[in-house]
Each structure stands twice: as structure tokens, then as C-alpha cells.
Chains A and B, each alone.
Chain A
């Protein structure tokens, strides 16, 4: 590994930022500062951070409803993200979207979508637009294992492969579609990439708990898609440490505490830290500094969200239509 240690620490920092952001979100949810559904990304940070490190600002990113991590990894301001979760006028979407519908067009982050499988056709469409204009951007489309058996996913895989669209489908296989384990939601559950290869798409698996593995994989895949102009499917094997949403506990009835504890041994943040320490690329003080720095950033985000005004009543009917 000939990486610049500063770059590796930057990846570490991004993952810690997401982790602390999510922990703080859970806290704020308990205080009823955040309402509705809240799906935390804790445990899966390596996928968003490793992927996002490999793309350009003009590439597109689109995700599902567990998307705080993707949005933050794409570079959105945690203040605006937290304000959106608080339903404040200063949020990314002026408080209209909430946790499940973060959008940041300034970063080509095209949104979080909350109908399982429903955003995969949109990803194909973004890629279609790139192809239509003869551009060389790519689209990263994140979704969970739960979306894979859906009809809309397969319609999208087929169109992307049929029309050679530059979209990278990144399946974050966290082993549960809500509370149903993959082996009870899909035939051929051991290897989801067969779903993609059956459509004539190249596909591979990656250890989604290892940010460097994800980054190396995506670096190759992005370069390939950018030059070859075709879709690609990546199955990132990962795990969520928390419940599906805030309405179920970390282990729930559908998985054991022991299983969650076992998965926690693969914590992507701890793994990168151990690797950096073992290879002498960083010292304890580096991590302490990052932790402190991130804590301050999260505190600032919460304060910003707290102090921000709620949307005025006049906003209710704004942005339903584009006015001529």
C-alpha cells in the first residue's frame, strides 16, 4: 500500500463523521428533535466512504432511504443535513424531505428514495442522460439487498445492460431486508451478483467492512465504466449494527445479540485504525485529534439545526410545481 497516510486518515475521518452523526441523530430522535422514520448507517460506513472517494464532482450519486452516510461522504454540509433531519428551513431540502429524502444538487447527490427498488430506474435515467450528451461521467446507485428481487431493479438492470449505460449499481448487502434475512427473501441468496451477470452485466463482490477494499474495487470499476461505457454491479458485503429503523433495537427478534456482536468485530472504523497503527502510518494522537475535531463539527451541526427556524407556513405550497 503506497497510500499517502493523510489520505487514509481522511477516509478514517469521513467514517467517524458518519458514525458520530448517526449516533447523534439517534440521540436527537430520542429527544423528539427528529421525527418520522430514521434509518441509521452505522456499520456500513466503509461502503459510502470508500466509493465516494473514487468519483469526480460531476458524477452522479443516488441512494435509498438509509442515505445520511452517502450524503455526508459526498461532501454535504453536516449542518444542512442535520437541519433537514430536524425539519428546519435551513435543511438541504428546506425541511420538505427529511431523513429519507436528502438531496444536494450542488454535489450531484440526486437524492434518497424510500420506495424499495424505485430509484434504480432513476439511476439508469441519469446514466442515460450522460450517454445522450456523450459525457464521461458515471452514476453511483446505492441500494440494499432488499431491493434486489424487486421488479424495478431488474427492469433497470436490463435497460442499463441493453443500452450500455454508465451506472454502477452498488448493492449494500447487510443481510436483512428490514427484518427478513436474505435467505428468506431471495433464491440464490449467497451470491447476489448472479442477478446482475444474468443480465449481461459485469459484477463483483467486495468486503464492505473494509474501506480500502471498497475504494480499490470502486477505483477499478469507476475507471472501467468511465472508459468502457457500460453498467457494473458491485455487491458490498456489509452489516448494520443498529436496527432497521429507530423502531427496532439493534438485534431485534430476527437476529441474535451474539450475531450483532460478532459482526461488530469487523467494525470498519476499528479495522482501518488497526491497519494504520500496525503499518505505522498513523499514531494514536492522530485519531484523537480526528475524534475531537469531528465531535466539534457534529456539535456545531446540532446547534445550527436547533437554532434554525422551522419553515414558514408560506413554504407549504412552494415547489409543488415549477412556476412559469
Chain B
């Protein structure tokens, strides 16, 4: 049996179930308690679990993220909610220098079982400081895992896996996904970290995307299908460790690859994906890999300019058509 729930509700269920299962799990962040979460993801939590396990913090990301890392070193399993990943920049020292490295520096004596979650990427007209896709920053750092689910089902199953993982997991959501709906199975489903999923089967071209760009890629694939082009769409779900095998398997079938990402092009995640595919499946490719990315500008406020800065269905479907009709 499945139920149709929102992405927001799926995250809420995942955390609620994990907090009921394991009393070492707690939620900490700005407005997660009495405010019910800035995006209402933790609705009802402080009422169910109490303020000892649902901690409203001052607006000090370095402090409370570091506190959570310390608590994890002592054996608790914190979930840190960043109101948005933009504010996570303030916690980068804690994430990069402490969370990611403590296990290695200590020769395996310590571990940091920690989830840091919240929305990344742009919403609508939030301007430059609130609209950015920083996943490449985190993916660059050994010791971190990075997850960016696109659907309610994946959000729930991957968040449960993240909470149970003994490593620090960066879990990137999206404001524009919170209200989206999808089927989520009843009962417990754990979706393993590190596995991409083919969300649409096709023969002509492979389109790789993640987070809300998956929805754009699926729409573009549908549009291309109207012109007789059969696209395969892969949802990465986990960005690190990257499931290169699933991408390569698809590319061996289609011979064509388009990578869609919302972040900036230069040194973006797609560059790494392309390198991974070139090094493993160069001769399977009929053409150079194409990347559809965000434009290399701070996000403008004006809606028309903002629309130009972010990949959309039209741009992705044009890329598909160009590639297949070449």
C-alpha cells in the first residue's frame, strides 16, 4: 500500500519514525521547535518529543552545528536543520574541518554520525544570498556523504538511511520541492545511500539530474517524447558517493549524455560526473557530453532575469533535441 504525501510530510515522517525508534536521535536548528520549522518540516515535533530533543537555537550556525558534531562524537545521533544551506556557509569550518575529518584524524577512534539537512538551490526571487546550489562544495570533501532526493519517496527512505549512517551526511532538500506530492509506501522503507535510480527508461539519450532538476528533466523528456525522442532519465539521489555504474550502464545503451544541474557551471558537479563517465565509457559516447547548468552569476532578484539564470524545461528539451537530431 502507498499513500500520496508531500515531500515535506515525507521528511517529517522519516524524522518522526527515526526519533521514535532511537532516543539518541534529536533535532536541532533555528525555529525547529515551537515555530514548527521555517518550512514546517518539523511540524508537531516539539509537542511529541519535547524541547530536550527538539532544540530551537540562536542564529549561530557554526555554534550549533559544532555542538551537534560534539554530541555525535559522544555517541548521540543529531539531525541539524539548516534553515537553508546558504546559512550553512557559516558552519563550513565545522562541517569541513571537524565533521568530515575527525574520524580520519583520530585514526578511526571517533566517528560523527550526523545529518545536516535543509533546503538548497533557488526558490523564487529570494536573490543572491538565498538562492544557490552549493552541493559541489560538500561533494569535494572526503569524509562527507551528500544526498539530494527529488521525490517524497526518496526523501523519506534516504533520510532514514542518513540518520542510521555512522558518517556525516549532508542532506540537501529544496524549497520548491516541499509542496510536491508523490507515492510513499506504507511502513518502513530504507533507500540505501549511493544508489541512483532510472526514473524514466529510454533508448536515445541519457539525462542525469537530481533534486528539483529531476522534475525539469522529466518534463523535458516528456516534451522530447512528443517529438519521438526516447529519453532515459537518471535521478542521482546520492551525489557522493556517486553511482557512476548506473550512469555508465545507461550511456552504453544510449551513447549520449546530458547532465542537468542548477548550480554554477565552473567546477560544478556535472564536471565531475562528465569526467567519471569519460574515464569509464569514453568509447560508448557518440558525442561529447552536454551540460545544462545554472548561469555563472549571483542570482538576480528580478523574475525575468532569475528565469534566465536557472535551467528550465525548454532549455533541457532543446539540449535533448539538438543532441539526438545532430
Contacts and interface: CB of A to CB of B under 8 A. Distances in A.
B62 A152 contact: yes
Contacts of A151: 62
Interface in A99-139: 101, 103-105, 110-111, 113, 115, 118-130, 132
B60 A129 contact: no
Contacts, number: 141
Interface string A157-173: 01100100000000000
Interface string B90-123: 0001100110001111111111010000000000
Contacts of B52: 132
Given A105-B110, A155-B62, A156-B66, A93 B71 contact: no
Given A152-B93, A322-B111, A123 B106 contact: no
Nearest to B102: A111
Q: Which of A91, A113, A155, A320 has the most CB of B within 10 A?
A: A155
Contacts of B111: 322
B106 A97 contact: yes
A248 B58 CA distance: 40
Contacts of B75: 129
A132 B53 CA distance: 8
A110 B73 contact: yes
Contacts of A130: 74
A321 B113 CA distance: 11
A125 B72 contact: yes
Contacts of B191: none
B97 A94 contact: no
A125 B106 contact: no
B67 interface: yes
Contacts of B62: 121, 151-152, 155
A159 B60 contact: yes
B68 interface: yes
A169 to B, nearest CB: 13
A60 interface: yes
A111 B62 CA distance: 19
B57 interface: yes
Q: Which of B65, B68, B107, B143 has the most CB of A within 10 A?
A: B107
A268 B145 CA distance: 47
B107 A159 contact: no
A246 B228 CA distance: 70
A270 to B, nearest CB: 36
B17 interface: no
B143 A132 contact: no
B73 A156 contact: no
Interface in A292-324: 318-322, 324
Contacts of A162: 58
B110 A110 contact: yes
Nearest to A60: B74
A125 B102 contact: no
Interface string B47-58: 000001000011
A55 to B, nearest CB: 16
B296 interface: no
Contacts of B97: 113, 115, 118
A103 B103 contact: no
A133 B166 CA distance: 20
B73 A322 contact: no
A93 B60 contact: no
B64 A159 contact: yes
Given A126-B73, A132-B76, A158-B58, A321 B103 contact: yes
B69 interface: yes
B185 interface: no
A98 B58 CA distance: 35
A46 interface: no
A96 interface: yes
B288 interface: no
B305 to A, nearest CB: 34
B104 A320 contact: yes
B61 to A, nearest CB: 9
B108 A152 contact: no
B67 A159 contact: yes
Contacts of B179: none
A313 to B, nearest CB: 16
A129 B63 contact: no
Contacts of A113: 97-98
Nearest to A100: B105
B67 A322 contact: no
A52 interface: no
A159 B166 contact: no
A175 B109 CA distance: 34
29 contacts: A91-B107, A92-B107, A95-B107, A96-B105, A101-B105, A103-B106, A103-B109, A104-B109, A111-B105, A113-B98, A115-B97, A118-B98, A121-B62, A122-B73, A124-B63, A126-B70, A128-B71, A128-B76, A130-B74, A132-B26, A132-B52, A155-B58, A155-B64, A159-B67, A318-B108, A320-B143, A322-B113, A322-B165, A324-B165
Interface of B: 26, 52, 57-58, 60, 62-76, 93-94, 97-98, 102-111, 113, 142-143, 145, 165-167
Interface of A: 60, 91-97, 101, 103-105, 110-111, 113, 115, 118-130, 132, 151-152, 155-156, 158-159, 162, 318-322, 324
Given A103-B109, A105-B109, 9 more contacts: A96-B107, A122-B67, A122-B98, A125-B73, A126-B73, A129-B70, A130-B74, A132-B52, A159-B67
